[in-house]
């Protein structure tokens, strides 16, 4: 359990005991309130099952290109691994790349037009891109926002 972080929630004696157990196992811990437990679980959903869902969406796009899922994984694997490594080492802003960073609204518009051929993918793209331009460094935010509007 070395390096694994645990969220602890409960009354003071339970948290104290859990903190000792986690420490004995070599883990780390932090305390959350009962009201924040669903938010903590949502955080976990974003970093595991929902990333997998995003990769399944990428496979859907790959199928439209004529690729088998394993071929899509082979194609996107190095990019995904480097992105995760950059994120873990440098943070979200430094790991962020592509047309959204450059403010290339024309490319974003072309991506969205192409995604119309793959049901459901444009919605995923728009949702993630909107958050990206709100939270991460991006040039021409107005142009990108316009490109992201449902047309």
Are residues 125 and 115 in contact, defined by beta-carbon separation less than 8 angstroms? yes
| Entry pTM | 0.84
CB atoms within 10 A of CB 121: 19
DSSP for 89-150, written as a single string? HH-HHHH--SHHHHT-HHHHHHHHHHHTTSTTHHHHHHHHHHHHHHHS--S-HHHHHHHHS-
pLDDT per residue over 78-131, tens digit each?
Answer: 999 999 999 999 999 999 999 999 999 999 999 999 999 999 999 999 999 999
pLDDT per residue over 55-88, tens digit each?
Answer: 999 999 999 999 999 999 999 999 999 999 999 9
């Amino acid at each position: 359990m070395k390096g694994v972080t645990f969220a602890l929630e409960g009354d003071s004696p339970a948290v104290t005991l859990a903190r000792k157990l986690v420490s004995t196992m070599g883990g780390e811990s932090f305390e959350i309130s009962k009201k924040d437990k669903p938010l903590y679980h949502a955080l976990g959903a974003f970093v595991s099952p929902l990333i997998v869902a995003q990769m399944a969406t990428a496979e859907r796009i790959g199928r439209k290109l004529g690729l088998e899922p394993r071929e899509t994984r082979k194609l996107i694997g190095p990019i995904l691994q480097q992105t995760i490594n950059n994120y873990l080492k440098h943070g979200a802003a430094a790991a962020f790349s592509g047309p959204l960073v450059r403010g290339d609204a024309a490319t974003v518009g072309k991506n969205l037009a192409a995604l119309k051929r793959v049901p459901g993918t444009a919605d995923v793209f728009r949702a993630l891109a909107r958050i990206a331009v709100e939270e991460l460094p991006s040039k021409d935010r107005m142009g990108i926002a316009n490109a992201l509007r449902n047309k």
